[in-house]
Amino acid sequence: MHDQTCLLPREIGFDDGLNIRATGIDETHVRTLRNLYRNGVTVDPITVRKVTRSDASEANHEYVLVDGMHRLTAFEEAFPGTNEGIPCVIIEGNQKDAFMAALMANRKVSRCLTAMERVNAAWKIVREFPEVSKKETVEATGVSRTTVGTMRSRWRELEETGKTDVSGNWMVDKETAEWHPEEMSEEEFRQRATVMKRKLRQAAGKSQRHNFRLFSTALIEAFTKDDLVEAIRCIDDWEDAMANDDF
């Protein structure tokens, strides 16, 4: 059921579970929308969900935002302290319904989700909304059937081993087994190291690889603290071996 109305910005609450963007607010996009509102241009309504009695955590608001953070922010900036409401589409349903609606909306608007945001959204569906079919997940996120199938298999594996406390980042959570270099032959170790080196260089690109602050920040965010500590220890060992001509 979808109803349309206008709501004051202060009547609308937020649910972090519905935030599928990793990049936060795009100020340039907000500024563009703010100018549209001020100039009286019709902007698509935002989408909100009517809160039910079971949503105890959201009891402070009757509605929570599903889609339209940039539009809501721009509207508040265009008309600060206004007593006029922003056009809204109201949906009813549970958390899963709201999340799927947010995904479908972000496939249509001009500021589309990034590839990584879509992949992580699909991973969230697999983990938190198992009743959603593979077909529905593919349609909502645009992620391939093969990837969604891999996610479902991975989640079953994690549930069976009791390791369900995951990061939510598919690139981190998808690893199926730990890598034990000591179990490899020296030749296999070198081959894997060469492949990894090539992938890292391709992913970073020549110009970005020489932006050391950018490159180091990416590494820090991609790996856990323990991973980085272990990597630093290995680098120290490698430098010692080089100094002693043991490498």
Model confidence at 216: pLDDT above 70: yes
Model confidence at 75: pLDDT above 90: yes
Residues 115-166 have pLDDT tens digits of 777 788 899 999 999 999 998 888 777 788 888 899 999 999 999 988 888 8
Could you tell me which residue, 99 or 5, shows the higher pLDDT?
5
The predicted structure's pLDDT at residue 241: 44
> What is the C-alpha to C-alpha distance for residues 200 and 193, in angstroms, rounded to an integer?
11
Six-digit token string for 116: 């990584």
CATH 3.90.1530.10 fits 1-112, yes or no: yes
Q: How confident is the model at residue 199 (pLDDT cuts 50, 70, 90)?
A: confident
The predicted structure's pLDDT at residue 103: 73
**125: how many CB neighbours lie within 10 A of its CB?**
26
CB burial readout 103-119, b (16+ within 10 A) else e: bebbeeeeeebeeebbb
Residues 14-42 have pLDDT tens digits of 877 766 665 677 888 888 888 888 878 78
The predicted structure's pLDDT at residue 238: 52
**211: how many CB neighbours lie within 10 A of its CB?**
13
Beta 12-13 vs 2-7: how paired, if at all? Answer: unpaired
Q: What are the residue ranges spanned by the domains of the chain?
A: 1-112, 114-177, 181-243
Average pLDDT taken over every residue of the chain: 75
Model confidence at 176: pLDDT above 50: yes
Six-digit token string for 234: 């290995």
Residues 86-126 have pLDDT tens digits of 999 888 877 787 778 777 766 554 455 667 777 888 999 99
The predicted structure's pLDDT at residue 55: 58
Model confidence at 57: pLDDT above 60: no
Could you tell me which residue, 207 or 34, shows the higher pLDDT?
34
Alpha-carbon dihedral sign for residues 34, 40, 46, 52: positive
Q: How confident is the model at residue 79 (pLDDT cuts 50, 70, 90)?
A: very high
Could you tell me which residue, 64 or 95, shows the higher pLDDT?
64
Residues 41-45, mean pLDDT to the nearest whole number: 84
Give the list of residues 6+ apart from residue 30 with CB closer than 8 angstroms, or none. Answer: 70, 73, 74, 77
Ordered alpha helix ranges (H), 39-185: 69-78, 95-106, 115-128, 134-141, 145-161, 170-173
The predicted structure's pLDDT at residue 22: 59
Model confidence at 181: pLDDT above 50: no
Q: How confident is the model at residue 227 (pLDDT cuts 50, 70, 90)?
A: low
Instruction: Tell which residue, 34, 33, 17, 20, has the closest CA to residue 106.
Output: 20
Would you say the pTM of this structure is higher than 0.85? no
> What is the C-alpha to C-alpha distance for residues 149 and 71, in angstroms, rounded to an integer?
34
Alpha-carbon dihedral sign for residues 145, 150, 156, 159: negative
State the first-to-last Cα distance of the chain, in angstroms, to the nearest integer: 68
